[in-house]
Amino acid sequence: MCRNERLFCRCGRNSASLLFRDNLLYPEILVNLYCPLCRDQAVWNGATMLRDCGWILEYDLEGAQALLQQSVKAAVTPEFLFDEGYLSWQGFSPGDLDLNTALHRRLAPLIEKDMPLYLQSLKTEWLKHVAELKAAGWRKAQAA
């Protein structure tokens, strides 16, 4: 079971939907979240931080290591936590959950009219979105 949380960035102007794989970590493991508008407030530390398209995630690696020591044998790094989904975006980017919800709502009238068209539209639009994220350099989209 995974946990999902919405956390606000340091300046409070933006939020991100985050995934906590296997419900092993808690939100406080993310010490700071910086959006593109407040990322200049961050004092970069590559040992505890990860950059993704203008966003910066700062992790409490000691806390994460303590919580994951029984289940994870790999070195706990920001890249590991993010790439393995232990504490990363819910989706490919911070706003994917909202975008996906809006897409389903917008296409919902097709469900009763033409289910195959609804499903094809969902697939087409989502694949277009993922291609755009990939082209923009979003980390999780690169593996898609």
The per-residue pLDDT for range 2-38, each reduced to its tens digit, is: 889 999 999 999 999 999 999 999 999 999 999 999 9
Give pLDDT, residue 144: 85
Domain count, the chain: 2
Same structural domain for residues 85 and 106? Answer: no
pLDDT score, position 59: 98
Same domain (yes/no): 54, 26: yes
Domain that holds residue 29: 3-89
pLDDT of residue 3: 86
Asked if 68 and 113 sit in the same domain, the reply is no
- Is there a single domain that holds both residue 15 and residue 84? yes
Please tell me the predicted confidence (pLDDT) of residue 34.
Answer: 98
- List, as own/partner pairs, every contact residues 138-141 make where C-beta atoms lie below 8 angstroms and the sequence separation is at least 24, other chains included: 138/52, 138/53, 138/92, 138/93, 139/50, 139/52, 139/53, 139/82, 139/83, 140/52, 140/82, 140/83, 140/88, 140/89, 140/91, 140/92, 140/93, 141/92, 141/93
20, 66: one domain: yes
